[in-house]
């Protein structure tokens, strides 16, 4: 009989349940290493005992400062078995970012790579996966249930971190699998670091249903296609930047890989240019291309399949869980189609809260909360995103939302990312300044970008200055820190 957990099954018992049934099956692979269900079960038992000996208890966090690896998955399940909550952070965080987050979460234990990375000399329990498991027995433990099943972090455009504790304890739920279209025994290829919420949720949800997860230790365009074919991936996680880099491969390179096993490819996290979405739909077929829009808070969200997108180009889909509405600047609900407003969300009435913050307070109105996104619904109920409320720039008394300009910029096939900020201007108060990330080998100039925008945007939305850069505009948390980008340029001369 094939085991599948019912809702409410303890996450601590997942490895043991699958080890008993399909122990020799690979549960997770990363780089050159892999773990069968039996290996995952036994090794996580040892590490869990080490965590408990180090002071990890129910109601506490354990910070995992680890890259994508089999050790990371071992540590996550060890946390569940110890009854504590895993918090995955990037091992490349700056000292300042890390200190702020650790100060908020006050973790019982911090698990790092050998050498300690940025935590050398830090007080408290700082250890490694190997040291935690050393000398510990691998026998089964009593079932435990952590207070929260995950604790991702977010900083947003302000750069002030917060921890988003899941509203669900460490038990199974069909919610995440249904949201992401993950089936039982899926073969998932996760291309992004698990310190981001979506990769963490999708990788773990695959394991909860007895599937196999292949984690990329670093993104490589051709390597992604090769891994998908080699491991018969049925489910694929991407972000638009990755999609762009795969699309940029020569046709003969992409043609080496069939992706025949692939059932669905999902993207989220940032806007996807229309030209790029069309190329993927043409390449893989509309029924295999999926998009998700939601916050880590998961009160409500939208999903969209490729054929729906073709009929509603530019949309992020209809609301598929929870509730959303638009409010104007005065807090009145917008009910007419194609009128922009601020997006407010709430869980379906009668449903438990999906999160709570450490280090921040939600923006709420009468039980509805906002992440600061602006958008509009069309007559069919499809949502189109515009920008974040806090990103609005006033130029000569006119409100300009950078997202529209950034969307036009990334339509250029040599633009990887673009960020538009407002810099002081004696005449108009602010001037629009575009920071444009292009490949070093790209033959593109600021004047060429201006020519490309001509006719795509109204004159008052055209950037007054364009700065070309060749490094990513996103930090290790995957966020664009507009305030930091602006502060570094506020005293610079126009470009």
Asked if pLDDT for residue 446 goes beyond 90, the answer is: yes
Q: Per the structure block, which two tokens stand in for 355?
A: 């999160």
Q: How many CA atoms lie within 13 A of 270 on its CB side?
A: 23
Helix 70-82 crosses helix 37-53 at what angle (to 10 degrees)? 60
The DSSP 8-state label assigned to residue 257 in this structure reads -
pLDDT digits (tens, 9 = 90+) for 315-350: 999 999 999 999 998 999 999 999 999 999 999 999
Does residue 297 have a pLDDT over 60? yes
pLDDT of residue 117: 60
Q: Edge-to-edge strands of the sheet including 264-267?
A: 33-36, 26-30, 212-215, 187-190, 235-238, 264-267, 289-294, 301-305, 318-321
Q: Which of 11-15, 43-47, 178-182, 358-362 has the weakest average pLDDT?
A: 358-362
DSSP one-letter string for 355-384:
EEEES---EEETTEEEEEEEEEE-TTS-EE
Give 198-243 pLDDT, tens digit per residue: 999 999 999 999 999 999 999 999 999 999 999 999 999 998 889 9
* Pair 302, 320: CB distance under 8 Å: yes
Beta-carbon contacts of 340 under 8 Å, excluding residues fewer than 6 positions away, are 326, 334, 374, 375, 376, 386
Question: Model confidence at 482, in pLDDT bands (50, 70, 90)?
Answer: confident
pLDDT of residue 457 exceeding 90, the answer is: no
Asked if 416 and 425 count as a contact pair (C-beta separation under 8 A), the reply is: no
For 402, other C-beta atoms within 10 Å of its C-beta total 25
Segment 248-289, tens digit of pLDDT: 899 999 999 999 999 999 999 877 888 899 999 999 999 999
pLDDT in tens, 99-139: 889 999 999 999 999 876 656 556 678 899 999 999 999 99
- β-pairing verdict for 26-30 and 368-377: unpaired
Q: According to the model, what pLDDT value does residue 494 have?
A: 45
Q: Which pairing describes strands 323-327 and 383-388: parallel, antiparallel, or unpaired? A: unpaired
Helix (H, G, I), strand (E, B) or coil at 21: helix
- The pLDDT-based confidence of 477 (bands split at 50, 70, 90) is low
Quickly tell me which residue has 């006033």 as its tokens. Answer: 394
In the numeric block, which tokens belong to residue 31?
A: 């780089």
Q: Which pLDDT score, from 0 to 100, does residue 14 have? A: 98
Domains of the chain: 11-377 (3.40.50.12780), 392-489 (3.30.300.30)
């Amino acid at each position: 009989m094939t085991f599948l957990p019912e809702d409410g099954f303890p996450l601590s018992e997942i490895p043991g349940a699958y080890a008993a049934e399909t122990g020799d099956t690979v549960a997770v692979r990363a780089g050159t290493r892999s773990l069968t269900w039996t290996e995952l079960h036994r090794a996580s038992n040892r590490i869990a005992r080490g965590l408990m000996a180090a002071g990890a208890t129910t109601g506490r966090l354990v910070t995992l400062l680890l890259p994508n690896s089999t050790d990371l998955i071992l540590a996550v399940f060890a946390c569940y078995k110890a009854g504590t909550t895993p918090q995955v952070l990037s091992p490349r965080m700056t000292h300042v970012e890390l200190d702020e987050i650790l100060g908020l979460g006050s973790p019982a234990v911090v698990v790092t790579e050998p050498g300690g990375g940025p935590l050398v000399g830090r007080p408290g329990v700082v250890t490694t996966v190997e040291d935690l498991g050393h000398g510990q027995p691998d026998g089964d433990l009593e079932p435990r249930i952590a207070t929260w099943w995950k604790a991702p972090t977010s900083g947003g455009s302000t750069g002030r971190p917060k921890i988003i504790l899941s509203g669900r304890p460490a038990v199974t739920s069909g919610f995440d699998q249904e949201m992401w279209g993950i089936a039982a025994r899926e073969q998932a290829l996760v291309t992004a670091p698990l310190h981001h919420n979506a990769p963490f949720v999708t990788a773990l949800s695959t394991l909860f249903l007895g599937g196999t997860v292949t984690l990329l230790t670093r993104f490589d365009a051709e390597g992604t296609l090769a891994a998908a074919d080699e491991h018969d991936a049925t489910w694929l996680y991407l972000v638009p930047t990755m999609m762009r880099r795969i699309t940029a491969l020569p046709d003969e390179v992409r043609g080496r890989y069939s992706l025949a096993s692939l059932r669905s490819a999902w993207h989220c996290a940032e806007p996807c240019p229309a030209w790029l979405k069309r190329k993927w739909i043409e390449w893989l077929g509309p029924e295999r291309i999926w998009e998700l829009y939601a916050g880590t808070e998961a009160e409500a969200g939208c999903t969209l399949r490729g054929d729906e997108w073709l009929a509603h180009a530019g949309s992020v889909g209809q609301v598929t869980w929870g509730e959303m509405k638009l409010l104007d600047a005065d807090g009145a609900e917008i009910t007419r189609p194609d009128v922009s407003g601020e997006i407010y969300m709430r869980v379906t009435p009668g449903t438990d809260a999906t999160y709570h913050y450490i280090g921040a307070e939600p923006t709420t109105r009468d039980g509805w909360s906002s992440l600061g996104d602006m958008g509009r619904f069309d007559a069919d109920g499809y949502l189109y995103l515009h920008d974040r409320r806090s990103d609005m720039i006033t130029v000569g008394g006119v409100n300009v939302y950078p997202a529209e300009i950034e969307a036009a910029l990334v339509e250029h096939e040599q633009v990887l990312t673009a960020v538009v900020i407002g810099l002081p201007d004696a005449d108009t108060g602010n001037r629009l300044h575009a920071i444009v990330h292009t490949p070093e080998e790209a033959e593109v100039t600021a004047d060429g970008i201006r020519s490309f925008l001509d006719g795509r945007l109204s004159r008052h939305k055209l950037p007054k200055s364009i700065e070309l850069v060749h490094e990513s505009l996103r930090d290790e948390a995957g966020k664009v820190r507009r305030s930091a980008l602006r502060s570094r340029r506020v005293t610079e001369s126009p470009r």
